[in-house]
């Protein structure tokens, strides 16, 4: 049994540090290159693994039968995540991500899904039947049919569904109707409501959140970067300011937020307390380079909370 189950992607990240992000056709020198474990699903799983009690999280996904896949399985294991339900797919290589990170902490990412596209609805429903759990974390770097099947199975089993709608794409009503908590960032939220742009002014957050709730999810938490988070649940709308820090790399900040949110909720914290906990965890992650390498421990978050 696992309290928190994560269904999603596992990628090996190829990360290059640059002074600024290149324009189209431009070649720039990089200052540092590293390979690090990543993928939105695995990032969220490792965030839970570092923040939650031991042996309370499990990951469902696919990797290739190659050295990159073995690295990703070992990273999950090292974070205390049950990786038994990560299938080795013989038909594809492990997914990768090419990431450029500029001095401000902003990034550009290109993902090659590889084995992540091999995750089948049956893989998920069979594993969830065995694992059970109280909370399910989902993202959109695996096939949409698989994500939809996972949400439907979880909802019918009384499991709280938390969906990070990333990367941004149009989503079917059947999926959104099975979501308890939707956690888009600014560009994802605007894409879902059919609005242009990639920034939400704080004054506009209530309207955007209201329009998102009308699509089906019970609660919406907008992840607004340096502005913090904004909650709308039908009864109230509330802003949670961000903890001010100097950002070095925003990669996986949203994944860290979701993993921390699920951890706090699974432990019985109120939604307000869980958002505050997740805000602090994400603020620590952006002060470090990398995805899983940036994720904080429980002790670090509790120390920052005071």
Which active-site residues does the annotation give? Answer: 255
- Least Cα distance to 128 among 104, 102, 151, 105 occurs for 151
Angle at 47 between CA 9 and CA 36, to 5 degrees: 60
Tell me which DSSP letter residue 215 carries.
Answer: T
Alpha-carbon distance 78 to 86, whole Å?
15
Say what the alpha-carbon torsion angle 14, 138, 301, 250 is, to the nearest 10 degrees: 40
Q: What is the sign of the dihedral through the CA atoms of 217, 150, 53 and 286?
A: negative
**Nearby residues of 184 by Cβ (< 8 Å), 6 or more positions away:** 164, 165, 166, 168, 192, 212, 220, 222, 223
Paired with 85 in beta bridges are 60
**Nearby residues of 197 by Cβ (< 8 Å), 6 or more positions away:** 187, 190
163 with 138: CB under 8 angstroms?
yes
Alpha-carbon distance 45 to 38, whole Å?
10
Please state the three-class secondary structure of 42-69 as a single string. Answer: HHHHHHHHHHCCCCCEEEEEEEECCHHH
Alpha-carbon distance 72 to 120, whole Å?
19
3-state SS class at 232: strand
- Least Cα distance to 264 among 64, 110, 51 occurs for 51
């Amino acid at each position: 049994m696992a309290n928190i189950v994560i269904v999603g992607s596992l990628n090996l990240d190829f990360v290059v540090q640059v002074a600024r992000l290149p324009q189209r056709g431009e070649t720039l020198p990089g200052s540092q290159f590293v390979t690090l474990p990543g993928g939105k699903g695995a990032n969220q799983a490792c965030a839970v693994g570092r923040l939650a009690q031991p042996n309370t999280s499990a990951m469902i996904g696919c990797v290739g039968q190659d050295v990159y896949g073995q690295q990703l399985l070992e990273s999950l294991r090292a974070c205390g995540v049950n990786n038994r339900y990560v299938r080795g797919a013989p038909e594809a290589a492990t997914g990768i991500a090419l990431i450029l990170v500029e001095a401000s902490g902003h990034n550009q990412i290109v993902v090659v899904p590889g084995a992540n596209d091999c995750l089948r609805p049956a893989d998920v429903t069979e594993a969830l039947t065995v694992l059970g759990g109280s909370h399910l974390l989902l993202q959109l770097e695996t096939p949409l049919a698989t994500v939809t099947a996972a949400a439907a199975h979880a909802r019918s089993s009384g499991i709280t569904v938390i969906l990070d709608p990333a990367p941004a794409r149009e989503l079917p009503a059947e999926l959104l109707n099975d979501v308890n908590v939707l956690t888009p960032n600014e560009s994802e939220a605007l894409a879902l409501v059919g609005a242009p742009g990639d920034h939400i002014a704080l004054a506009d957050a209530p309207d955007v959140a209201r329009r998102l709730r009308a699509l089906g999810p019970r609660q919406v938490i907008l992840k607004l970067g340096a502005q913090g988070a904004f909650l709308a649940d039908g009864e109230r709308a509330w802003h949670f300011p961000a903890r001010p820090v100097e950002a070095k790399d925003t990669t996986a900040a949203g994944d860290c937020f979701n993993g921390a949110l699920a951890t706090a909720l699974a432990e019985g914290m109120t939604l307000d307390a869980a958002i505050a906990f997740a805000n602090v965890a994400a603020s620590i992650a952006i002060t470090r380079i990398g995805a899983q390498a940036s994720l904080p421990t429980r002790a670090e978050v509790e120390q920052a909370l005071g």
